[in-house]
Amino acid sequence: MTTSTPLPTSSLLHTEEMILNVGPQHPSTHGVLRLVVHMDGEYVTKVVAHMGYLHTGFEKTMENRTYQQNVTYAPRTDYLHCFGHELAYVLSAERLLGAEVPVRAQLVRVLLHELGRIHSHLVFIGTGLLDLGALTPFFYAFREKEMVQDLFEEVCGYRMNQGYFRVGGLYRDLPEGFEQHVRAFIDHFDEKVDEYEALFRENPIFVDRATGVGVLSAAQAKDLGLTGPNLRASGVPLDHRKANPYCGYAELDFEVPVESAGDCFARFVIRGAEMRQSARIVRQVLDRLEPGPIRDPNRKISLPPRQELETSMEAVIYHFKLVTEGFHPPLGEAYVPVESARGEVGYYLVSDGGSVPYRVKIRAPSFVNLQALEVAGVGGQFADLITVVASLDPVLGDVDR
């Protein structure tokens, strides 16, 4: 693209490279990301991303908590799509343990997982356009985002960092009337999603600013290990919901949107399309939801029902064992990739047979995706770099953990 070529500099003019420090406190770094930007005028010649400002040692902490307790930590990494991390952790732990999750629990997980994706993409669109100087879409997107959070709150009392899933099922069943509320929201959302797509698809200034900016070819995207919408925007149709179906995604009817351009515009468009697909999945799940158990009946995994504690000595013992030391998965390791709003998230768990994981390694999509910044952000202007950061959608909690 012609705009990315720096102007020819006269040999008579002495020019100097400018090193600009962006962040960790800066309006558009989506948290505490620090970028050291080398610039020739307004053109970016090199970007170095410094991270770790939010590092709190999640992985190490999780190695000192029981499997069930760790559910609390997982959503706190990616605070915009909490259910993605939660689901990834729970699935890995269940594979380690060999737990059987009832159908209803799986469907509820899919439901919340997809609502979480809508939540995350709404924040992406709002803040992404804000980074380009459009103030208003932010508030529109946040209106629906709040609605999703209302639904989360209804389910488990938390608007963020839910910790609602359990190894072996769910914390509790859906509240009464919840399904109607979700249906009402999805009906409302179907109208709004058109509006949001129009906000960026039909805005000539936005189109000009995002088209051809921060291009990542399919090969580059693969080499960098990108996953999720960022990878699919470059034309690689990898989606773990299709590739490695979990929680019954194989039986659901949905499409994986793929764009070929690999530029910021494609990364915006693809998220709009994904929100539609998520809404579609939510509808199907609602149609399939039937009353049933929500936890693995295995007493060595799930707590016994409250009323049994008064009559059964066995129940009291199981309860005591589970609460004090948790369960002991057999020796082994497990990793289940999950498609979160940002890409492949997975928890690599190693068990030494004890009640706490021997090793936890989080495959955090934002961390990997952020690598692309040093490729996609270079060559364009400084303003483009901000667009690229926004389009890669990093969540710093997910990056630093």
Partner 1 sequence: MTAAHFWITLLKAVLVALALLTTFAYMTLVERRLLARMQIRRGPNRVGPLGLLQPLADAIKSVFKEDVLATNRDRVVFFLAPLISITTALTVFGAIPAGRPGGFFGANPWVFNLDIGVIFILAFTSLGVYGIFLAGWASGSKYSLLGGLRSSAQVISYELGQGLSILGLLILVGSANLRSIVHWQYHHGWLIAFQLIGFACFLISSFAETNRTPFDLPEAEQELVAGYLTEYSSLKWALFQMSEYVNMITASALISTLFLGGYRGPAFLDAVVPGISGWPYLWLLLKIALFLFLFIWVRATFPRLRYDQLMRFGWKVLFPVALLNALLTAAFVGLLPGLSPWILGLVSLLILIALLALGDRLLAGNRKLARGSAGD
Q: Residue numbers of the site for partner 1 (CB under 8 A)? A: 1, 3, 18, 20, 26-28, 42, 129-136, 138-140, 143, 203-209, 211-212, 215, 217, 260-263, 265, 381-384, 386
Nearer residue to partner 1 within complex by CB, 362 or 386: 386
Least spacing, CB of residue 219 vs partner 1, in Å: 12
Least spacing, CB of residue 153 vs partner 1, in Å: 20
Please, what is the angle between helix 382-392 and helix 264-288, to 10°?
A: 20
Alpha-carbon gap, residue 329 to 21, rounded angstroms: 47
208 C-beta neighbours (distance < 10 Å), count: 12
Phi-psi region of 242 (alpha: psi -120 to 50; beta: other; left: phi over 0): alpha
Least spacing, CB of residue 140 vs partner 1, in Å: 7
Least spacing, CB of residue 242 vs partner 1, in Å: 24
Nearest to 71 by CA among 90, 97, 91: 90
Structure tokens given for 70 = 């760790």
Least spacing, CB of residue 121 vs partner 1, in Å: 18
Q: What is the DSSP string of 116-146?
A: HHHHHHHHHHHHHHHHTT--HHHHHHHHHHH
Nearer residue to partner 1 within complex by CB, 200 or 367: 200
Least spacing, CB of residue 148 vs partner 1, in Å: 16
User: Cβ distance 78 to 398 under 8 Å?
Assistant: yes
Residues with Cβ within 8 Å of 110's Cβ and at least 6 positions away in sequence, in order, are 247, 248, 249, 252, 281, 285
Nearer residue to partner 1 within complex by CB, 204 or 330: 204
User: Cβ distance 234 to 217 under 8 Å?
Assistant: yes
Nearest to 102 by CA among 302, 304, 287: 302
Alpha-carbon gap, residue 357 to 58, rounded angstroms: 13
Least spacing, CB of residue 41 vs partner 1, in Å: 8
What backbone phi and psi angles, to 5 degrees, belong to 146?
-65, -35
Nearer residue to partner 1 within complex by CB, 41 or 245: 41
Nearest to 267 by CA among 222, 225, 211, 220: 211
Structure tokens given for 21 = 């420090």
Least spacing, CB of residue 364 vs partner 1, in Å: 25
Structure tokens given for 308 = 């049994």
Least spacing, CB of residue 300 vs partner 1, in Å: 51
Alpha-carbon gap, residue 208 to 400, rounded angstroms: 33
Least spacing, CB of residue 27 vs partner 1, in Å: 5
Nearer residue to partner 1 within complex by CB, 16 or 253: 16
Q: CB-based burial of residue 64 (10 Å sphere; 0-12 exposed, 13-18 middle, 19+ buried)?
A: exposed
Q: What is the DSSP string of 358-390?
A: SEEEEE-HHHHHHTTHHHHTSSSBHHHHHHHHH
Nearest to 293 by CA among 172, 113, 115: 172
